[in-house]
Amino acid sequence: MAGRRAISRSVAAVIVVVVIIVAGAAAWLASRGGGGGAATTSAGTAGGAAAAPPELTGNFTKDALAIGRWLEEHGVGQVTYTVMAAGDPNSVMRMYGIVEAAEDINDLWSENGVNVKITIKTDWSPDFKKQYDNFKSKYELGENGDFFVNSYIYIAPLASQGRLLDLTPWVQKYQGYFSDFFQTLMKAGQYQGKQYGIPQDTEARPLYIRKDVARCMGWDLRGLDEKVKNGQFTWQDVYQKAKEAVEKGCADWGLIHRKGSAHPDLIQFIFAFGGKLYDPQTGKLVVDKVAIKKWFQVEYQFARDGLLPRDIMSWDWGTQIHPTIVGERKADGGDGNTLFDIGGTWYWTEWQSKKYYLDPKTGERRPLTPEEVAEKFYYTLFPAGEPGKQPVTLSQPFMWMIAANAGKENPHYNDANYRKAYQELAFLIVVKASDPEINAIHSVISAHLPVSKKAANLLKDPQWVEKLRNHQLGLHQDVLSKIADIIDKTADPINIQFLANVTYMLDYTHFAPSHPLYDKLAGIFADAVDKVIRGEMTPDQGVDYIVQKVKADPDLSANVEIIG
């Protein structure tokens, strides 16, 4: 059987139950309950509701076989789901992980005589915020994906609106399996004490430093990561070095960072200045005026001194931001360059798969090689805002989420027992998609960090790495064909060493609040920092703007504390 076998499988006896019922066309249509696809009516539906499906036990093989047999006995030969996922070009295993898991279950069923097949339809977006909006709008029409793979920040609004399935009872049954996951990430998948998301990946957000620019300045970077870790190199020092790089003509810019949103990269400043965004005692969001002002002062000064583009928040990802991060000086025929960049660990492989780099020698755009990325970039934690504060990073784990209406495309969905069977099966697909090997593959090709210890250990296994590089891990052909090129471009020992090197950053990580209104507050932050960088507001005015916007919004004013 193709695919991974990380979850042990015991061979079960084949049980074949054939129940023949003759029913009229009208009765057949009524039994469908609005579900799509062809189905055969069973004894369970002829006289009323179907028999209850088996309860999950925590034994994957036993549970998958039991659900498959129940479906077959009740006349279901085809189960269809849709997965909606989003992210950068290298993160497509967020989508294909579900496809691979479903194929593994199909293989298990086939080997054990279960004549049911799962089909997965895919819906991918490069913009995770747009995909969230798509999911919400499609939910109203009953056209949303059954699986939603996106940032944990969307758990709170979706769960509070009843749009996500509560996975708590099943996660408890599979506690032995999920105990291997990093528990801080499992907690990030919770809302009001219930588990709505299963970690799919996580990341850190380093401060990248161009080694060639540093050499031009005469700056020796050796040991800088330890200085940052110890709070000996702060944003005051970042400013001075950025200024020096531009004044010496070594860089066109001192700093480049994310566009268009204050979440999540830039809110690291709030934590780096000792501020907070959430009060767990009250359950309210927090506007920390002191920390926000200090953040804005940094951005304001960088922009006023020509070290940061004043219109950075509207820069295009593919034609401005990334080309400038990896590029050469304009004076040398490049797109321009920078000394510092606030980015994410996934940048490391994105630079190797996208044609961001304008090669001055050829005049053509191309990806960087792993060796070139390692040669160009040093990386540290996000430095402390000022002496006496601590360095930070920020993680935005992506989660496997299951829609509350999961299974809606299938026969007899309106029957509670069929619906439960489809949703139990959806959970088992997520369990299988969380297989350490699937997670480790995603980690390597996307430069995100693994979510479990077993997956992390695979990254340290040279034999496993070599099998991945040679396409010998048993992925199903339809999945392998979709990611083979990405594997070839990213599964390099240099990249895997990078992931190992940045894992320590998770000890310093923070999370944005899991609160239904945080997205709205982050949007206000984004508007304010954009105005500050452009010079339309001073830092004080930017803070006042946030406060005014919060107070003017009835929902925010009731759910946000303003301190400082």
Give the model confidence (pLDDT) of 175-190 as tens digits: 999 999 999 899 999 9
And the tokens for 345? Answer: 């660990």
Query: Are the CB atoms for 175 and 195 separated by under 8 Å?
Result: no
Q: Are residues 408 and 376 in the same domain?
A: no
**Domain of 178: which CATH number?**
3.40.190.10
Q: Are residues 48 and 158 in the same domain?
A: yes
What was the pLDDT predicted at 117? Answer: 98
Domain stop point among 465, 487, 503: 503
What was the pLDDT predicted at 260? Answer: 65
Q: Are residues 94 and 227 in the same domain?
A: no
User: pLDDT digits over 507-552, tens only?
Assistant: 899 999 989 999 899 999 999 999 999 999 999 999 999 999 999 9
Domain-located, residue 15:
no
Backbone φ and ψ for 315, nearest 5 degrees, come out as -65, 150
Strand order from edge to edge, sheet including 207-210: 253-256, 338-342, 207-210, 377-380
Q: Are residues 329 and 473 in the same domain?
A: no
Q: Are residues 97 and 191 in the same domain?
A: yes
Domain-located, residue 41:
yes
For the chain, the domain total comes to: 2
Q: Which domain holds residue 38?
A: 25-203+398-503
Query: Are the CB atoms for 71 and 421 separated by under 8 Å?
Result: yes
Alpha-carbon torsion (83, 89, 91, 97), positive or negative: positive
Q: Are residues 193 and 71 in the same domain?
A: yes
Question: Does the pTM of the predicted model rise above 0.85?
Answer: no
262: pLDDT confidence band, cut at 50, 70 and 90?
low
Domain stop point among 461, 483, 503: 503
Q: Are residues 361 and 248 in the same domain?
A: yes
Domain-located, residue 6:
no
Q: Are residues 43 and 186 in the same domain?
A: yes
Per-residue pLDDT averaged across 18-40, rounded? Answer: 35
The residues with which 122 forms a beta bridge, in sequence order, are 83
Domain-located, residue 309:
yes
What was the pLDDT predicted at 261? Answer: 64
Domain-located, residue 90:
yes
pLDDT higher than threshold 90 for residue 50? no
And the tokens for 100? Answer: 């691979």
User: pLDDT digits over 205-260, tens only?
Assistant: 999 999 999 999 999 999 999 999 999 999 999 999 999 999 999 999 999 998 86
What was the pLDDT predicted at 427? Answer: 99
Q: Are residues 373 and 444 in the same domain?
A: no
Domain-located, residue 13:
no
Q: What percent of the chain has pLDDT over 70?
A: 90
Per-residue pLDDT averaged across 85-100, rounded? Answer: 96
Q: Hey, how many other C-beta atoms are within 10 angstroms of the C-beta on 405?
A: 18
What was the pLDDT predicted at 507? Answer: 87
Domain-located, residue 2:
no
pLDDT higher than threshold 70 for residue 348? yes
Integer angstrom CA distances of residue 174 from 67, 286, 401, 402: 16, 35, 16, 16
CA–CA gap between residue 154 and residue 398 (Å, rounded): 10
Domain stop point among 480, 503, 526: 503
Per-residue pLDDT averaged across 82-96, rounded? Answer: 96
SS3 215: helix
Q: Are residues 342 and 472 in the same domain?
A: no
Q: Are residues 242 and 372 in the same domain?
A: yes
CA–CA gap between residue 224 and residue 220 (Å, rounded): 8
CA–CA gap between residue 211 and residue 482 (Å, rounded): 34
Domain-located, residue 348:
yes
CA–CA gap between residue 286 and residue 305 (Å, rounded): 31
pLDDT higher than threshold 90 for residue 160? yes
Instruction: Tell me what percent of the chain is helix, strand and coil, each rounded to the nearest 5.
Output: 50, 15, 35
pLDDT higher than threshold 50 for residue 15? no
Strand order from edge to edge, sheet including 197-201: 117-125, 78-86, 147-151, 398-402, 197-201
SS3 407: coil
Tokens 């005049």: give the residue: 363
Q: Are residues 174 and 310 in the same domain?
A: no
CA–CA gap between residue 297 and residue 213 (Å, rounded): 25
pLDDT higher than threshold 70 for residue 41? no
What was the pLDDT predicted at 4? Answer: 52
Per-residue pLDDT averaged across 311-317, rounded? Answer: 94
